[in-house]
Amino acid sequence: MFVVSTKEEEQPMSALNRGYGVTTVLAAIFFGVAAYAMLQPITSPGIDPVSGLPYPAAASWTWAAYLGCGIVGILTALAFIYITQYYTEARFRPVKEIVKAAETGPGTDVISGFAVGLESTALPALGIMGAILISFFLGESTGVRVFVTPTFSIGGGLFGTAVATMGMLATAAYILAMDTFGPISDNAAGIVEMAGISGAVRKQMDKLDAAGNTTKALTKGYAVGSAALAAFLLFSAYLEAAKITSVDLAKPEVFVGGIAGVTLVFLFSAFAIRAVGRAAWSIITDVRAQFRENPGILAGTSPPNYARSVDIVTKSALREMVVPGLLAVLTPIAVGFIFKFVVVTPGLRAGEPLGATLMVGTIAGVILALVLNTGGGAWDNAKKFIESLPAGKGTEQHKAAVVGDTVGDPFKDTAGPSLHILVKLLSSSPRS
């Protein structure tokens, strides 16, 4: 039995945001406790036990500087949450623009949604840039140097960026809960629809489903942001493993390696999106075939063969991701192998072209993932908003929004999340 309150109720995202706010405050407090307990400065110079080299005395406020780095990470995560909400919630300008564009057909709906996806990269990118620069500056100001091996040390700036990354991950448990909220509310709305329930219950479930679309989008943005900060650290590990200090894009081999990284990201996304199209074609063909074979399905007198459809989708999902997976693994190997022998610039250091592939590919992957995740979420919520209108369903505007949502689904549910994996693979392969 469904019980629905008749009074004006709070929007679902308001409650979720309040919970995230409490989580953020608690994370900042416990981060401060951990920084004070574990990051007290060394007030006098000495000999490092790992390297045997002398180290300078650190500043007396070292723990406070690293607490600041952690706060930078926490605030960056908070910024990502609210920026993504702005671009995917129906009460804000971007989704309203998509809704208005749907009035003139699916073409303008798709154009508007893609423009929102592209626009949504600017503020998160500024957040990432600011987090890296501020945390690096705070870390460097401490004068700390950590020796990982006798020959490799991490400066205070790099350690500060690592602390900022941990700060961004401090709220990961609540982010995981918000991410799980999305599919739960989506499935609940599907059950209500299949049960033929209408009225206030359906209206409430549509609100929860729309909130779920937003939470899925913002948690993906959070994942991309944290991956970007971590990539900066892991790239430093690559430089150490390759025994180089920098990657010079002015050298043609290195520049070509960077182009290879960007191309990998776009080609990988193309294969992922195409896989959805092929799977959709297969399942639609099967559904039509079942209608022809068993007319009782449309009459409601006999059930469809669900197992056959599920089998097609499962096999297609496994088969179609083989090529993107191989592409992600083999491209860095190919770049490293080719430029081991192809050298046109005197003084080219081994590892520079591959370093460009990893670095530039990671940057491109982060930005494109933001486009796909946020654009897809905005299309979906534009459709949900139109469906919530009294005469929204079945109109030409709704049909146009459905087309936009169909385009957005492989963006936000396949290519975008797959790019998260590609970014992490690129940034974590420096020692391969």
What's the pLDDT band for 107 if we cut at 50, 70, 90? very high
Task: Show the CA angle centred on residue 115, arms to residues 112 and 120, nearest 5°.
Answer: 125
- Asked if 381 and 213 touch (Cβ cutoff 8 Å), the reply is yes
Candidate from 100-109, 342-351, 366-375 with smallest mean pLDDT? 342-351
The region of weakest confidence among 42-46, 182-186, 213-217, 329-333 is 42-46
The answer to whether residue 3 sits within a structural domain is: no
- Which whole number is the average pLDDT over 350-370? 91
Instruction: Report the range out of 37-41, 95-99, 427-431 with the highest average pLDDT.
Output: 95-99
Q: Is residue 293 part of a domain?
A: yes
Q: Is 286 part of any domain?
A: yes
Task: Please give the tally of structural domains in the chain.
Answer: 1
Write down the pLDDT at residue 117: 94
| pLDDT confidence of residue 432 | 43
pLDDT of residue 26: 93
> What amino acid is encoded at 282 in this protein?
S
Structure confidence at residue 118 as a pLDDT band (50, 70, 90): very high
Asked whether residue 4 is domain-assigned, the answer is no
Measure Cα distances from 288 to 194, 197, 308, 402 in Å. Answer: 20, 27, 13, 20
Count of alpha carbons within 13 angstroms of residue 385, beta-carbon side: 24
| Owning domain of residue 269 | 12-427
- The tens digit of pLDDT for each residue in 285-296 reads 999 999 988 888
Indicate whether 432 belongs to any domain: no
> What's the Cα-to-Cα distance from 217 to each of 10, 141, 179, 371, rounded to whole Å?
21, 36, 8, 11
Angle, helices 106-119/396-410, rounded to nearest 10 degrees:
40
Q: What is the 3-state secondary structure (H, E, C) of the chain?
A: CCCCCCCCCCCHHHHHHHHHHHHHHHHHHHHHHHHHHHCCCCCCCEECCCCCCEECCCCCCHHHHHHHHHHHHHHHHHHHHHHHHHHHCCCCHHHHHHHHHHHHCHHHHHHHHHHHHHHCCHHHHHHHHHHHHHHHHHHHCCCCEEEEECCEEEEHHHHHHHHHHHHHHCCHHHHHHHHHHHHHHHHHHHHHHHCCCCCHHHHHHHHHHHHHHHHHHHHHHHHHHHHHHHHHHHHHHHHHHCCCCCCCCCCHHHHHHHHHHHHHHHHHHHHHHHHHHHHHHHHHHHHHHHHHHCCHHHHCCCCCCHHHHHHHHHHHHHHHCHHHHHHHHHHHHHHHHHHHHCCCCCCCCCCHHHHHHHHHHHHHHHHHHHHHHHHHHHHHHHHHHHHHCCCCCCCHHHHHHHHHHHHHHHHHHHHHHHHHHHHHHHHCCCCC
The pLDDT score that the predictor gives to residue 5 is 42
Per-residue pLDDT, 153: 62
196, part of any domain? yes
Residue whose pair of structure tokens reads 């796909």 in the numeric block: 372
CA distance 154 to 145: 6
Query: How confident is the model over 384-418, as pLDDT tens digits?
Result: 889 888 887 889 999 999 999 999 989 988 898 88
For residue 162, being part of any structural domain is answered with yes
Q: Assess if residue 261 is contained within a domain.
A: yes
Model pTM greater than 0.75? yes
- Residue 340: the pLDDT is 86
Largest CA distance in the chain: 85
d(CA 383, CA 402): 6
* Residue-averaged pLDDT of the chain: 85
Residue 270 in this model has a pLDDT that exceeds 90: yes
